[in-house]
Each structure stands twice: as structure tokens, then as C-alpha cells.
Amino acid sequence: MDAPLRVLLVEDSAEDAALLVRCLKRSGYAPTSERVETAEGMQAALDRARWDIVFSDHRMPLFSALGALRVLRERDLDLPFIIVSGNIGPELVASAMQEGASDYVLKDDMSRVAPAVDRALRDVEERRRRREAERALKESEERFALAVRGSRDGLWDWNLLTGEAYYSGRLKEMLGFEEHELRGIEGFAAQIHEGDRERVWAALRDHLERRAPFDVELRLATKQGEHRWFCARGQALWDAAGAPTRIAGSLSDLTTRKHAEAELLSQLGLIRQQQEAIRLLSAPIIEVWEGVLTVPVLGALDGERAEVILDALLAAVSHAQCRQVILDVTGVASMEADTAEQLVRIVRALRLLGAHCIVVGIQPRAASAMVARGIDLSSITTLGNLRQALVRCIRAGGGAADAGGERSSGGRAAAALRRLP
């Protein structure tokens, strides 16, 4: 099928124009043509339609090929332009080519029309594609430049073959460097904190050798000597043999976030300390006298709190070599099955250290509820109140006052007992 071709003929001879059209038809084209012979006519034809190619006689009474080229240039039109002339010298050909002509054909050698048209159309198509590629590249570069200016991240690009490196202005600004400073891969490497270097290079090797993601947090020294936290991300390129040739990526400042995380961890640690202090205060261990400890328990006795009390009691009993421990649960609001289990667990653990544990202060309502629920505390010693427990401890330890009065532990115990209500 013949290829359609819109042809503008700048020609004062109708016969020569018709001859050219016949040549195009014989060469496999289906031309649609218009003939003009003045600058005004050419301007009007360009206004009326779009053209694929222009043929122009070199010299006409009212116009010329060089004039036609100027018309195209003024309109910034990139159209194939072929000069057709009966006689044209080398100097005129060179001048026309400099002005933008694609080719020339002598009228007595019309066999060159088809090759000239084919080549001119290919050239203009190549120029069009190149312009589109350049325009796309320019737009991409403009978007990239805009993204770089608008981004808070710094950008870097390393040539692994030459050691050359690119660092964006934002990256240099983040590290306190001027535009002309921070050169090469070594310049960046020198800023890595000594404690992070081995980890950073290991992550980089892992990416280059195993193609694992490169995403690492590190400390970098600024030009002023301050170490700040950053996140470096990158992606490498590999050649056909699998060898890395280039890696580029971004650098994000994490310093503010790291400070916030450190502050949060500090606050959480303080909260845990305060919670621990509150738990200890809610069940303080009191040494009534030598060898006897008492623990007033207030509020609920859940598993976590029982663990705290047990740990503290085991440490105190072991340290002071105590023989008697009194758990005062007067302040425990209700005695559920879980609470009873925790009491039994504490008593058994203390027994393993040789300490006898007495539970006092179970309220009548709680005792009734425990019986109704079938809760069994028969394995532990229970008494009504703290005074009864202290009396038993005195008797068990020979706590009557001796000749030394209140100087002995027994005497002090008796004195303490007298002060109880």
C-alpha cells in the first residue's frame, strides 16, 4: 500500500511540479500536494494544513529556496526540505545545507527523488524522537531537581569503579559542609562514627554481594564534630557479570526521633521504677524484732503483686536469717481463690528457707466466702490479728524479758507487744 505523503511544492513551473508528483507516485508514495511560488503563498499554505515534506526550486522569479528555508525557520518548523534545481553550484548547496536543507536533486536526475525523500523522512523522524527524548529527560531532570529541593533528605551517588561520589547540597547542609566540601567515598566514610563503621560496611557488603536491602541507621559526624543519627538507604547497579558498579540512595536525619525515643525510654524506665516503688510501698517488709518480719498487705493480691512480695520476702529472710514471718491481710478487701493460692505459694516458698509464716487479718466476711467456695487454707497457720501472731512468735522464740530487761530481742518484743492496742 502506498504511503500517504503531504507535499508542499514551492515551484513556479506547473510542469516541473507535476513531474515531481509522478516520481513520488512511482516510488511508492501517495502524495497530496499544493504548489506555491511566493513567500505569501507559502505562509498561507502552512497556515491551512500540515505538511510532511517541502520541495523547492532553487531560484524563481518571486521567491527562492533560501527564502523558503527562512520561512520555515521563522515558524520553527522541522520539515524535510529538498531543493530541486536544474543547475546549482557547490557553494549554493553548502549555503542551503547550512540554512537547514535536507538534500538537493537535479531536475535531470529525478531518480534521486525517492532515496532523498526516504532519507529526509528518516532524519526528521530521528530528530523528532531525539527531541522527545531530550524533552522527557529535561522534564525528568526538572522533577528530580524539584524533588531534591523540596525533600528534607540528602542524596548520594557513588561510582564504585572510580571512587567518585556525588552528594546533594541538602546532604552537605545536613552535615554542615559547604558546597565545595565533602569529596569522594572516603570523605563520607570518614564521618561515620567509629562504633557504627563495621555494622555499616557489613550491611553495604551484604547489599553488593547478596543484593539484600541496604537500609541502615548510623551516626555521622558533622563538620563541627557533633554526632547525629541518620538513616541511609541505597540501591546498587550491577554489570552483566554481576559486579556492582554504582550505588545511589538517600540520607534522612533521625536525630530528633532518636532523642524522642531516648526520652521516651527514660520516662518508661522512670515509670517502671515508680510502679516498683509503689508495689513495694503497698506491702512494706517490717522487721518487728530480730528474726521476725511482718508484711502488711493492702488492696488486691494478684499474681504480679504476689511475685513482688515473695521476691522481697525471700531476699529479706535469707539476708536476716529470719525464723518467723507474719502476713497481715487485714487490708485485703476480698479473699478469692486466686488470692488464697498466692498466700499458699508464699507460705510454701518461705518454708523452704526455714521460716514459719503466719497469716493474720482474714475478715469474717472473707472467711465465710472462702468456706462457701471451698477454699482450703488448712496447710498454713492463720490467726485473727497481728497481736496474736506476735505473741506466738515471742513464745516460739523464748521472748519473755530476761534479766537484761528490754536489751534482749525477747525483751524488745515484749515491749513492742505492750505498745500494741
Q: How confident is the model at residue 214 (pLDDT cuts 50, 70, 90)?
A: very high
Q: How confident is the model at residue 373 (pLDDT cuts 50, 70, 90)?
A: confident
Give the three cell numbers for residue 163.
Answer: 571512587
- Give the least confident one: 138-152, 210-224, 258-272, 358-372: 138-152
Q: What is the mean pLDDT of residues 227-255?
A: 92
Higher-pLDDT residue of 408 and 320 is 320
Q: How confident is the model at residue 92 (pLDDT cuts 50, 70, 90)?
A: confident
**Is the model's pLDDT at 418 over the cut of 80?**
no
pLDDT of 63: 92
pLDDT of 119: 92
Domain boundaries, the chain: 3-129, 152-257, 282-419
Q: How confident is the model at residue 234 (pLDDT cuts 50, 70, 90)?
A: very high
Contacts 24+ apart (CB under 8 A), 212-216: 214/247, 214/249
pLDDT of 420: 53
Pairing of strands 244-253, 286-289: unpaired
**Is the model's pLDDT at 398 over the cut of 50?**
no
Q: Considering the chain, what percentage of its residues have pLDDT values greater than 70?
A: 90
pLDDT of 96: 81
For cell 515531481, the residue is 20
Answer whether CATH 3.30.450.20 is correct for domain 152-257: yes
**Is the model's pLDDT at 401 over the cut of 60?**
no
Higher-pLDDT residue of 318 and 407 is 318
pLDDT of 402: 39
Q: For residues 411 and 323, what is the distance between their CA atoms, to the nearest angstrom?
A: 17
Look over the chain and give the mean of its residue pLDDT values, rounded to a whole number.
84
pLDDT of 202: 95
**Is the model's pLDDT at 419 over the cut of 60?**
no
Architecture (CATH level 2) of domain 282-419: 2-Layer Sandwich (3.30)
pLDDT of 302: 74
Architecture (CATH level 2) of domain 3-129: 3-Layer(aba) Sandwich (3.40)
CA distances from 169 to 138, 177, 217, 370 (A): 20, 9, 21, 76
**Contact between 317 and 290 (Cβ < 8 Å):** no
282-419 has the same fold as 152-257: no
